[in-house]
Structure 1
């Protein structure tokens, strides 16, 4: 049985379960527990399938390129972590965000900024190179 056929069957089963759950919620006016469980199951299946195919393609392709890409990303995260400040911050609800939590939030933001600059820079470089070679 092909993977496409299995995925179609799983999608059909999840759709039927979702419809049955929706009808039960509409008729009983009850909670959304069943809907949430279906959403969690769908998310878990999606993540599992994506993970399987990523690992399958990683090990069947050029492993050196994959490891270099992962290493470059980890280098960006390390640079972003070093650049981030860790300051205890009071939040709106009165709780205090720890210095470590603040540093990780800053790391995430810095990582995004670095990757955005690299992406925009590579698009500009590609556009200029394409325009000048014609």
Structure 2
């Protein structure tokens, strides 16, 4: 029996278990739902850990089965975009005083991280749109 078939069965079993738990919470009384909710939180942590484990296993399996040089270049380009975005972000663009007065813990470091995330999002969105446009134009001219 292949690993894919085993994981398919495990995923189906977890889906059925999840559906049972959801119906138990929906149709149970409030005391049962609240006490079960705490226990289900731990169940969800275990399921999340299982899913992350499976994802890491299959990513590494696919990484070594495919072109590792191309994959590492893509990861490097992504990290370069993140680092350049962090370098561009200043953290002083925003007036932090109103946030501090409201009791929110917003510092220049927080502002810099948010700015870096926004810059990275903009660059990655532009690259995604450009690659889709390039693919469409290439497909039109190759026909």
Q: How does 1:41-60 map to 2 (within 5 A)?
A: 41-60=46-65
- Give the aligned CA root-mean-square deviation in angstroms: 2.6
Residue 71 (structure 1) aligns with: 76
The range that moved more, 13-22 or 30-39, is: 13-22
Aligned residues: 134
Pick closer, same or farther for the CA change 1:104–1:13 going to 2, 3 Å.
closer
- Provide structure 2 residue ranges, at least 5 long, that are not aligned to the other structure: none
Post-superposition shift, 1:63? 1.5
Which of 55, 59, 67 is the matching residue for 1:62? 67
Post-superposition shift, 1:46? 0.9
Structure 1: distance between partners of 2:101 and 2:141: 52
Pick closer, same or farther for the CA change 1:112–1:92 going to 2, 3 Å.
farther
Pick closer, same or farther for the CA change 1:127–1:38 going to 2, 3 Å.
same
- TM-score when scaled to structure 1? 0.80
Pick closer, same or farther for the CA change 1:6–1:74 going to 2, 3 Å.
closer
Residue 9 (structure 2) aligns with: 8
Question: 4+ runs of 1 displaced by more than 6 Å?
Answer: none
- Provide structure 1 residue ranges, at least 5 long, that are not aligned to the other structure: none
Post-superposition shift, 1:93? 4.4
Structure 2: distance between partners of 1:17 and 1:118: 38
